[in-house]
Structure 1
Amino acid sequence: MAGAGVRAAVEWLVSVAPDPEACRWVWERDPRGVALLPAGRRWDVLILPGELGHPTFDVLTRLVDRPGPVLSDFGSARMGFFVPPGTVDGWIGTGVRGAGRGTWIVVPHPGHRIVGAVRWLIPPDGTGTLNDATLLELAMHEAAATRAERGGN
Protein backbone atom coordinates (compact mmCIF):
# COMPACT_ATOMS: atom_id res chain seq x y z
CA MET A 1 0.00 0.00 0.00
CA ALA A 2 1.40 3.37 -0.94
CA GLY A 3 0.59 7.02 -1.38
CA ALA A 4 -3.08 7.90 -1.10
CA GLY A 5 -3.94 4.49 0.39
CA VAL A 6 -1.52 4.98 3.27
CA ARG A 7 -2.77 8.52 3.87
CA ALA A 8 -6.38 7.29 3.93
CA ALA A 9 -5.44 4.49 6.35
CA VAL A 10 -3.62 6.94 8.62
CA GLU A 11 -6.63 9.29 8.63
CA TRP A 12 -9.01 6.41 9.39
CA LEU A 13 -6.87 5.23 12.30
CA VAL A 14 -6.14 8.64 13.84
CA SER A 15 -9.83 9.61 13.60
CA VAL A 16 -10.35 7.79 16.93
CA ALA A 17 -7.27 9.24 18.65
CA PRO A 18 -7.84 11.76 21.43
CA ASP A 19 -5.09 13.83 19.78
CA PRO A 20 -4.80 12.91 16.08
CA GLU A 21 -1.88 15.31 15.53
CA ALA A 22 0.15 13.69 18.33
CA CYS A 23 -0.50 10.29 16.78
CA ARG A 24 0.66 11.48 13.34
CA TRP A 25 3.70 13.13 14.95
CA VAL A 26 4.80 9.84 16.55
CA TRP A 27 4.38 7.92 13.31
CA GLU A 28 6.18 10.53 11.18
CA ARG A 29 9.21 10.89 13.45
CA ASP A 30 9.81 7.28 14.40
CA PRO A 31 9.18 4.59 11.76
CA ARG A 32 9.17 2.03 14.59
CA GLY A 33 6.76 4.20 16.57
CA VAL A 34 3.39 2.96 17.67
CA ALA A 35 0.30 4.80 18.81
CA LEU A 36 -2.08 3.79 21.54
CA LEU A 37 -5.61 4.03 20.10
CA PRO A 38 -8.99 3.40 21.69
CA ALA A 39 -10.97 0.39 20.51
CA GLY A 40 -14.76 0.33 20.38
CA ARG A 41 -15.37 3.44 18.28
CA ARG A 42 -14.72 2.41 14.69
CA TRP A 43 -13.58 -1.13 15.45
CA ASP A 44 -13.16 -3.81 18.08
CA VAL A 45 -10.25 -6.23 17.97
CA LEU A 46 -10.49 -9.98 18.54
CA ILE A 47 -7.12 -11.21 19.77
CA LEU A 48 -6.27 -14.83 19.05
CA PRO A 49 -3.27 -16.82 20.24
CA GLY A 50 -0.82 -17.37 17.39
CA GLU A 51 -1.42 -21.12 17.21
CA LEU A 52 -5.06 -20.41 16.34
CA GLY A 53 -4.57 -17.01 14.72
CA HIS A 54 -2.23 -18.14 11.95
CA PRO A 55 -4.42 -20.95 10.62
CA THR A 56 -7.47 -18.70 11.01
CA PHE A 57 -5.70 -16.03 8.96
CA ASP A 58 -4.90 -18.63 6.29
CA VAL A 59 -8.53 -19.76 6.09
CA LEU A 60 -9.83 -16.18 6.07
CA THR A 61 -7.53 -15.15 3.21
CA ARG A 62 -8.87 -18.09 1.19
CA LEU A 63 -12.47 -17.05 1.84
CA VAL A 64 -12.28 -13.36 0.95
CA ASP A 65 -10.20 -11.37 -1.54
CA ARG A 66 -9.06 -8.85 1.04
CA PRO A 67 -9.80 -9.35 4.72
CA GLY A 68 -10.04 -6.39 7.04
CA PRO A 69 -7.07 -5.21 9.10
CA VAL A 70 -5.03 -7.79 10.99
CA LEU A 71 -2.19 -7.11 13.43
CA SER A 72 0.48 -9.48 14.69
CA ASP A 73 2.54 -8.93 17.81
CA PHE A 74 6.12 -9.68 18.78
CA GLY A 75 7.05 -13.16 17.59
CA SER A 76 3.52 -13.70 16.22
CA ALA A 77 2.35 -14.96 19.63
CA ARG A 78 -0.97 -13.13 19.15
CA MET A 79 -2.95 -11.81 16.22
CA GLY A 80 -5.58 -9.08 16.30
CA PHE A 81 -8.46 -9.11 13.82
CA PHE A 82 -10.32 -5.79 13.47
CA VAL A 83 -14.08 -6.38 13.59
CA PRO A 84 -17.13 -4.08 13.83
CA PRO A 85 -17.59 -2.12 17.06
CA GLY A 86 -19.66 -3.96 19.64
CA THR A 87 -18.51 -7.42 18.50
CA VAL A 88 -16.57 -8.18 21.68
CA ASP A 89 -19.57 -7.37 23.88
CA GLY A 90 -21.21 -10.67 22.98
CA TRP A 91 -18.16 -12.71 22.06
CA ILE A 92 -17.57 -15.97 23.90
CA GLY A 93 -14.58 -18.01 22.88
CA THR A 94 -11.98 -19.96 24.80
CA GLY A 95 -8.59 -18.30 24.54
CA VAL A 96 -9.91 -15.39 22.45
CA ARG A 97 -9.63 -11.96 24.04
CA GLY A 98 -11.39 -8.85 22.91
CA ALA A 99 -10.58 -5.16 22.86
CA GLY A 100 -13.73 -3.06 22.71
CA ARG A 101 -15.08 0.14 24.23
CA GLY A 102 -12.96 1.23 27.19
CA THR A 103 -9.80 -0.55 25.99
CA TRP A 104 -6.78 0.60 24.01
CA ILE A 105 -4.56 -1.14 21.47
CA VAL A 106 -1.03 -0.56 20.20
CA VAL A 107 -1.09 0.36 16.52
CA PRO A 108 1.87 0.85 14.17
CA HIS A 109 1.88 3.15 11.16
CA PRO A 110 -0.07 1.41 8.36
CA GLY A 111 2.59 2.07 5.71
CA HIS A 112 5.71 0.84 7.52
CA ARG A 113 6.97 -2.72 7.33
CA ILE A 114 8.30 -3.56 10.78
CA VAL A 115 9.82 -6.93 11.60
CA GLY A 116 9.91 -8.25 15.15
CA ALA A 117 7.38 -5.77 16.56
CA VAL A 118 3.67 -5.12 16.38
CA ARG A 119 3.06 -5.09 12.65
CA TRP A 120 0.27 -5.18 10.12
CA LEU A 121 -0.32 -8.46 8.32
CA ILE A 122 -3.12 -6.64 6.51
CA PRO A 123 -3.12 -2.89 7.04
CA PRO A 124 -6.35 -0.91 6.98
CA ASP A 125 -7.31 0.37 3.55
CA GLY A 126 -8.73 3.64 4.85
CA THR A 127 -12.31 2.89 3.78
CA GLY A 128 -13.39 1.33 7.06
CA THR A 129 -13.36 -2.26 5.78
CA LEU A 130 -13.37 -4.66 8.74
CA ASN A 131 -13.39 -8.40 9.16
CA ASP A 132 -16.88 -9.89 9.20
CA ALA A 133 -17.24 -11.41 12.69
CA THR A 134 -19.38 -14.33 11.49
CA LEU A 135 -16.93 -15.20 8.73
CA LEU A 136 -14.03 -14.86 11.18
CA GLU A 137 -15.77 -17.24 13.58
CA LEU A 138 -16.28 -19.79 10.80
CA ALA A 139 -12.60 -19.45 9.84
CA MET A 140 -11.62 -20.02 13.48
CA HIS A 141 -13.76 -23.17 13.65
CA GLU A 142 -12.26 -24.52 10.43
CA ALA A 143 -8.73 -23.70 11.62
CA ALA A 144 -9.34 -25.39 14.98
CA ALA A 145 -10.84 -28.48 13.34
CA THR A 146 -7.93 -28.77 10.91
CA ARG A 147 -5.45 -28.41 13.79
CA ALA A 148 -7.26 -31.11 15.77
CA GLU A 149 -7.22 -33.48 12.76
CA ARG A 150 -3.47 -32.98 12.46
CA GLY A 151 -2.93 -33.61 16.17
CA GLY A 152 -2.37 -29.99 17.21
CA ASN A 153 -3.52 -28.71 20.59
Structure 2
Amino acid sequence: MPQATPPCDLVTVPTQQGLEAVDILRLRTGVGPVLHDDAGDGIGFLVPQGTADGWDLPGSSCTRSNGRGFSIGAEPSVAGSGWLVPPDSGPGRITATDPAVLRAALGEAARTIRLAGGV
Protein backbone atom coordinates (compact mmCIF):
# COMPACT_ATOMS: atom_id res chain seq x y z
CA MET A 1 0.00 0.00 0.00
CA PRO A 2 1.49 3.41 -0.97
CA GLN A 3 2.33 5.71 1.89
CA ALA A 4 0.14 8.81 2.08
CA THR A 5 1.89 12.12 1.69
CA PRO A 6 1.06 15.06 3.91
CA PRO A 7 -0.83 17.96 2.30
CA CYS A 8 1.30 20.85 1.08
CA ASP A 9 1.07 24.58 0.40
CA LEU A 10 2.72 26.05 -2.70
CA VAL A 11 5.32 28.87 -2.75
CA THR A 12 5.61 30.43 -6.22
CA VAL A 13 8.41 32.68 -7.47
CA PRO A 14 9.59 34.04 -10.84
CA THR A 15 11.35 31.42 -12.96
CA GLN A 16 14.89 32.83 -12.81
CA GLN A 17 14.88 33.12 -9.03
CA GLY A 18 13.24 29.70 -8.67
CA LEU A 19 15.78 27.95 -10.86
CA GLU A 20 18.65 29.54 -8.96
CA ALA A 21 17.08 28.49 -5.64
CA VAL A 22 16.63 24.91 -6.89
CA ASP A 23 20.35 24.77 -7.69
CA ILE A 24 21.26 26.17 -4.27
CA LEU A 25 19.02 23.67 -2.48
CA ARG A 26 20.24 20.70 -4.52
CA LEU A 27 23.83 21.52 -3.61
CA ARG A 28 23.12 21.91 0.09
CA THR A 29 20.18 20.47 1.96
CA GLY A 30 18.02 18.98 -0.75
CA VAL A 31 14.81 20.11 -2.30
CA GLY A 32 11.32 18.65 -2.31
CA PRO A 33 9.10 18.46 -5.37
CA VAL A 34 9.13 21.57 -7.56
CA LEU A 35 6.63 22.55 -10.25
CA HIS A 36 7.16 24.70 -13.33
CA ASP A 37 4.32 26.30 -15.22
CA ASP A 38 4.03 25.46 -18.88
CA ALA A 39 4.22 29.16 -19.82
CA GLY A 40 7.66 29.47 -18.15
CA ASP A 41 6.58 32.31 -15.87
CA GLY A 42 7.04 30.71 -12.48
CA ILE A 43 8.37 27.95 -10.28
CA GLY A 44 6.42 26.41 -7.40
CA PHE A 45 7.95 24.77 -4.33
CA LEU A 46 5.82 22.38 -2.29
CA VAL A 47 6.12 23.31 1.38
CA PRO A 48 4.39 21.92 4.49
CA GLN A 49 0.74 22.80 4.93
CA GLY A 50 0.36 25.90 7.09
CA THR A 51 3.38 27.70 5.61
CA ALA A 52 1.09 30.23 3.92
CA ASP A 53 -0.06 31.47 7.33
CA GLY A 54 3.30 33.17 7.95
CA TRP A 55 4.77 33.56 4.46
CA ASP A 56 5.67 37.18 3.69
CA LEU A 57 8.70 37.08 1.39
CA PRO A 58 8.46 39.93 -1.15
CA GLY A 59 8.39 38.78 -4.77
CA SER A 60 6.81 35.44 -3.91
CA SER A 61 3.44 34.11 -2.90
CA CYS A 62 2.29 31.11 -0.91
CA THR A 63 -1.03 29.46 -1.73
CA ARG A 64 -2.90 27.77 1.09
CA SER A 65 -4.04 24.25 0.54
CA ASN A 66 -7.20 24.91 2.60
CA GLY A 67 -7.00 21.45 4.11
CA ARG A 68 -6.94 19.69 0.74
CA GLY A 69 -3.26 20.07 0.01
CA PHE A 70 -1.51 19.87 -3.31
CA SER A 71 -1.07 16.22 -4.05
CA ILE A 72 2.33 14.73 -4.70
CA GLY A 73 1.95 12.12 -7.38
CA ALA A 74 3.14 11.07 -10.81
CA GLU A 75 1.15 13.90 -12.38
CA PRO A 76 1.06 17.38 -10.80
CA SER A 77 -2.26 18.43 -9.31
CA VAL A 78 -1.83 22.01 -10.58
CA ALA A 79 -3.26 22.57 -14.08
CA GLY A 80 -0.79 23.82 -16.70
CA SER A 81 2.29 22.62 -14.84
CA GLY A 82 4.86 19.85 -14.82
CA TRP A 83 7.49 18.55 -12.43
CA LEU A 84 10.84 20.35 -12.53
CA VAL A 85 11.94 18.21 -9.58
CA PRO A 86 9.62 15.20 -9.43
CA PRO A 87 8.59 13.61 -6.17
CA ASP A 88 10.94 10.85 -5.07
CA SER A 89 9.30 7.70 -3.82
CA GLY A 90 12.56 6.22 -2.53
CA PRO A 91 13.72 5.93 1.07
CA GLY A 92 14.58 9.20 2.76
CA ARG A 93 12.53 11.17 0.27
CA ILE A 94 11.80 14.82 0.84
CA THR A 95 8.07 15.40 0.49
CA ALA A 96 8.20 19.16 0.97
CA THR A 97 10.89 21.81 1.15
CA ASP A 98 11.53 23.29 4.59
CA PRO A 99 10.15 26.86 4.51
CA ALA A 100 13.05 28.40 6.45
CA VAL A 101 15.59 26.74 4.17
CA LEU A 102 13.60 27.81 1.10
CA ARG A 103 13.40 31.41 2.35
CA ALA A 104 17.19 31.53 2.76
CA ALA A 105 17.78 29.97 -0.70
CA LEU A 106 15.37 32.42 -2.35
CA GLY A 107 17.15 35.34 -0.68
CA GLU A 108 20.52 34.07 -1.84
CA ALA A 109 19.14 33.49 -5.34
CA ALA A 110 17.81 37.07 -5.51
CA ARG A 111 21.20 38.46 -4.40
CA THR A 112 23.03 36.31 -6.96
CA ILE A 113 20.75 37.48 -9.77
CA ARG A 114 21.14 41.10 -8.72
CA LEU A 115 24.96 40.80 -8.57
CA ALA A 116 25.03 39.14 -12.00
CA GLY A 117 23.14 42.10 -13.46
CA GLY A 118 19.77 40.35 -13.67
CA VAL A 119 16.43 41.73 -12.61
2:34 is matched with: 70
Of 117-126 and 47-56, deviating more is 117-126
Measured in 2, the distance between the counterparts of 1:111 and 1:101 equals 17
User: CA, structure 1 residues 129+106, in 2 after alignment: closer, same or farther (shift >3 Å)?
Assistant: closer
Shift of 1:101: 3.4
1:148 is matched with: 114
- Gaps of at least 5 residues in structure 2 are none
Shift of 1:104: 7.6
Of 81-90 and 51-60, deviating more is 51-60
- Given residue 109 of structure 2, which amino acid in structure 1 is its aligned partner? A
Superposition CA RMSD, Å: 2.8
For these two proteins, the number of residue pairs brought into alignment is: 113
Q: Identity over aligned residues, as a percent?
A: 31
TM-score scaled by length of structure 2: 0.77
**1:8-67 Cα deviation digits (max 9, x unpaired):** 4xx746xxxxxxxxxxxxxxxxxxxxxxxxxxx611110111121111111111112x42
**1:97-144 Cα deviation digits (max 9, x unpaired):** 1111338888795269xxxx5111122234662101111111111111
- Given residue 59 of structure 1, which amino acid in structure 2 is its aligned partner? I
Matched ranges for 1:1-153 at <5 A = 8=2, 12=4, 42-64=7-29, 66-102=30-66, 110=74, 117-126=80-89, 129-153=95-119
- Given residue 43 of structure 1, which amino acid in structure 2 is its aligned partner? C
Shift of 1:90: 0.4
Shift of 1:148: 0.9
Contact 1:107–1:118 (Cα < 8 Å) also in 2: no
Q: Which has the larger radius of gyration?
A: 1
SS class of match (1:67): coil
Which structure: greater helix fraction? 1
Contact 2:37–2:81 (Cα < 8 Å) also in 1: yes
TM-score scaled by length of structure 1: 0.62
